[in-house]
A and B are shown apart, each in its own frame.
Chain A
Amino acid sequence: MPSTSLLRWQTDRMPRLAEVEAQCAASLVLVPPQPNLVEENLRGNVLLLSAHYQGFCRDLYTECAQIVVSKVRPALRLLILEQFIAHRRLDHGNPNLQNLKADYERFGFTLDLPAADPLNPARLTNLDLLNKWRNVAAHHGTIPAGIPLSLPALQGWRNSCDGLSTSLDAIMYNELRQILKRAPWVP
């Protein structure tokens, strides 16, 4: 069993995203073609994917903080939780590597996602592309050169988020097990 956060990502967030992708795929084969609808669907999908991945990262952070503070007396829990939550980047910022490192390194270790899995460097490149397009879609900004928005690209970005989620869950499991001297959740 993974963390509650990863379980939710796998059993709730990913299926929801797959349903939106199916809607995008259906709009691609409409006759006559409706390119405006296709583009709006793709842009909506980008926002949802980024939001769900941010939601997972924020959930896992909260879950880990709750596990750590459960080991101290209640009066101290309140104080420590407030410190964990204060200025959390993932509350407002994109789920990019910089924000993930800024938040997760509060647990007292260096978050090295690229080294955690041979596939992670490519996944992080995809996460960067996803966040660039997320900002374009959210702010109706300038379309980034050389980064086409298509359904296959979106599916690749979703798979990358899925791989990074599993990787981050495993990193936090190992880090918390060292800190707490026991398994934080059933692996």
Chain B
Amino acid sequence: MAEKKDAILFKVGDRVKIRYYRGGPGRIVELRGPLAPGGKMVYRVLVRRKPRPVYNELTDEFLELIPADS
């Protein structure tokens, strides 16, 4: 069965690796809804960075789940 475009692949609290980003991992802090083209789900991601943390709003193509035990 084809995957739905607005499928929720991550949940709030998940740690994720961000593709094309050289810094550390991020954490999903909000599911923003199917706001990307094609109805793709957008995730708000918090990234710890000096001097202050930053947010980004990304689709799943940028995100890779970091297993909880790693």
Contacts and interface: CB of A to CB of B under 8 A. Distances in A.
A84 B58 CA distance: 12
B33 interface: yes
Interface of B is mostly: strand
Given A66-B35, A66-B37, A85 B56 contact: yes
Nearest to A88: B55
Given A4-B35, A59-B32, A66-B36, A78 B18 contact: yes
B11 interface: no
A70 interface: yes
Contacts of B18: 78
A4 B62 contact: no
Contact of A66 (B20, B21, B42, B54): B42
A78 B58 contact: yes
Q: How large is the interface on B (under 10, 10 to 19, 20 to 34, 35 or more residues)?
A: 20 to 34
A62 B37 contact: no
Q: Is the interface of A mostly helix, strand, loop or mixed?
A: helix
B9 to A, nearest CB: 16
A70 B61 CA distance: 12
Interface in B18-42: 18-21, 32-37, 39, 42
Contacts of B20: 74-75, 77-78
A85 B36 contact: no
A78 B57 contact: no
A59 B42 CA distance: 10
A8 B34 CA distance: 10
A74 B54 contact: no
Nearest to A69: B36
A172 to B, nearest CB: 13
Interface of A: 4-5, 8, 59, 62-63, 65-67, 70, 74-75, 77-78, 81-82, 84-86, 91
11 contacts: A4-B34, A4-B39, A66-B59, A70-B36, A74-B19, A74-B20, A75-B20, A78-B21, A78-B56, A78-B58, A82-B54
